[in-house]
Amino acid sequence: MKTAQEYYQEFLRLKAMPVPKRGHGIRYTRIVFWMLNAFVLACVGLFFLVLRFPILVEVRIFGYLISALMFTGIFVFPELFYDDHQLRKRYVKRKHPQLNRSMLRLRVNRRESVLYPAELHIEEKIYFMVAYYFSNKWWERRAWAHITGFMLFDEQGNAVRDAQLFGKALLTADYDKSGVVGIQKRLEEIPYDARFAEKKYLPRMERLLRRTEQRWEEEGKLYVWQEISKAMPLLYEAVKDMLHWYEFEMKIAKALGYSFGHRAYYEDAIHGERVWRTYGMYMWQKYGKTILNLRKTVKEVMGEVRWNPWDRYVLKLFYDTLEMILSRCLVAPLHNGRPIDSQWLLYRARLLLAERVGVPIIGSESLPEKNPYALKLYHDEPFRESDEQDWEEREMLAELDAVMKED
């Protein structure tokens, strides 16, 4: 296995390579900015209109106009002009009506919703990776939504039964997610989270360590104090390295046309996978073991210490910082596009439903029961003639899979 520095140099080289531009659109934050500006200008215009015609106040037209403008700006414009799901839903209904009918036939019931996909161009053919999800009512005290199924369709609306093609399609679909509005929102949070961790959360933890050494020793937790103190300089570096992930993901989002793109290409996704894996391996080599061990130790200590509320709050912020580094710099880049066990089971289950309801199925006659992508770093490893994966890579993926299942 390469060293951290070798992975870092390779990552910089791959990240600098151009990404083909596939669409044109506007960044989510710019849309919000111009919507707010238009709203303010409209309010000012209506204000001067009232000054010119005071009778409008008496008949309450001014209030009605402001209410209509706020409703339109907050609810209608976002849905019509930049919401990726609404754009793709209209596109699929208009361009692929047979596909739309097949997608809806595979719903378990009417409460199950369909996440409309982009066109996935794989080896000169078009496929669609459709996700089914169940949305709870707003008053129900459970998760807001959870995925209940996956299905791969071709352009004619036929279900596709093919293990290798499923891996290619999922990789391409994960690459396309960088243009989704929800992902854009989370990406925009990365610089702010990194800045707060570097300027606020980690310094607070350092101050807590300086004034509580004796308290740790009295509680028999001095080894925890020493472990955290030793790791602090490394955590500052890890937080700064988070920005590499943000820069590349936003580069992909721009190339896709942000939420206005309708197409994703397999050859682009392969390049994205190489960048993700190289970045993830660099972060693992440099910070992986430290983050996992420290996270486990701090999690155990959080339930045992009997401190004042402020000190417990600082310790909780420190644990959240470890979680942020783990999820965004290790789990995400090493798992993007690699089908996990739950996704494989949901795909197989939805194929059984397709057989039962009579949706045409093309492809191979059978699929392996176990996930062929388990403990594989790249999406094509299960189908290579010679698998020369390093045993350290398998051990690393096993640890991260255990973390995902634990959470």
For 306-325, the pLDDT digits (tens) are 778 888 899 999 999 999 99
Q: Residue 284: what residue type?
A: W
Per-residue pLDDT at 27: 81
Which of these ranges, 19-23, 36-40, 59-63, has the smallest mean pLDDT?
59-63
Per-residue pLDDT at 149: 92
Mean pLDDT calculated for residue range 361-366: 88
- % of the chain exceeding 70 in pLDDT: 84
Question: Which neighbouring-strand residues pair with 134?
Answer: 112, 146
- Is the pLDDT score of 75 beyond 60? no
Q: Residue 72: what residue type?
A: T
If phi over 0 gives left and psi between -120 and 50 gives alpha, with beta otherwise, what is residue 363? left
Mean pLDDT calculated for residue range 319-346: 92
CB neighbours of residue 359 within 10 Å: 20
Which of these ranges, 1-5, 70-74, 312-316, 323-327, has the smallest mean pLDDT?
70-74
- Is the pLDDT score of 139 beyond 60? no
Per-residue pLDDT at 37: 67
Mean pLDDT calculated for residue range 88-109: 92
**Average per-residue pLDDT in the chain?**
85
- Is the pLDDT score of 162 beyond 60? yes
- Is the pLDDT score of 151 beyond 90? yes
pTM for the model stands at 0.86
Per-residue pLDDT at 145: 62
Rg of the chain taking only CA atoms, in angstroms: 25
Highest mean pLDDT: which range of 26-35, 39-48, 131-140, 182-191: 182-191
Q: Are 241 and 329 in contact (CB under 8 A)?
A: yes
Rounding to the nearest 10 degrees, give the CA dihedral for residues 96, 99, 100, 104: 180
Instruction: Label residue 400 by pLDDT band (50, 70, 90).
Output: confident
Per-residue pLDDT at 52: 64
Highest mean pLDDT: which range of 38-42, 231-235, 389-393: 231-235
Which of these ranges, 142-146, 271-275, 281-285, 317-321, has the smallest mean pLDDT?
142-146
The candidate with the shortest Cα–Cα distance to 199, out of 191, 187, 188, is: 191
Per-residue pLDDT at 371: 93
The residue with tokens 């308290």 is 215
The candidate with the shortest Cα–Cα distance to 187, out of 177, 196, 197, is: 177
pLDDT digits (tens, 9 = 90+) for 210-260: 988 888 888 888 898 999 999 999 999 999 999 888 899 999 999 998 888
Q: Residue 268: what residue type?
A: D
CA count, 13 A, side-chain hemisphere, 144 = 1
Q: Are 333 and 217 in contact (CB under 8 A)?
A: no
